[in-house]
Homo-oligomer: A and B are copies of this chain.
Amino acid sequence: MFFIKLEPNDDILESLIKAITENSIRTGFFTAIGAIKTPNLGYYLLDQKKYKTITIEGNFEIVSCSGNVTLKDGTPMIHAHLVVSDQKGRAFGGHLLADNKISVTGEIFLVEAGAPLIRTLDDQFQLSLINLD
Chain A residues with a Cβ under 8 A of chain B: 1, 3, 5, 8, 28-29, 31-33, 35, 41-46, 52, 54, 56, 59, 61-64, 66-68, 79-95, 103-105, 107, 109, 111, 113-114, 117, 124-125, 127, 129-130, 132
Contacts and interface: CB of A to CB of B under 8 A. Distances in A.
A59 B94 CA distance: 12
B89 A33 contact: no
Number of copies of this kind of chain in the complex: 3
A84 B28 CA distance: 22
Contacts of A89: 41, 43, 54, 56, 92-94
Contact of A46 (B66, B83, B104): B104
Given A83-B63, A104-B127, A107-B130, A114 B1 contact: yes
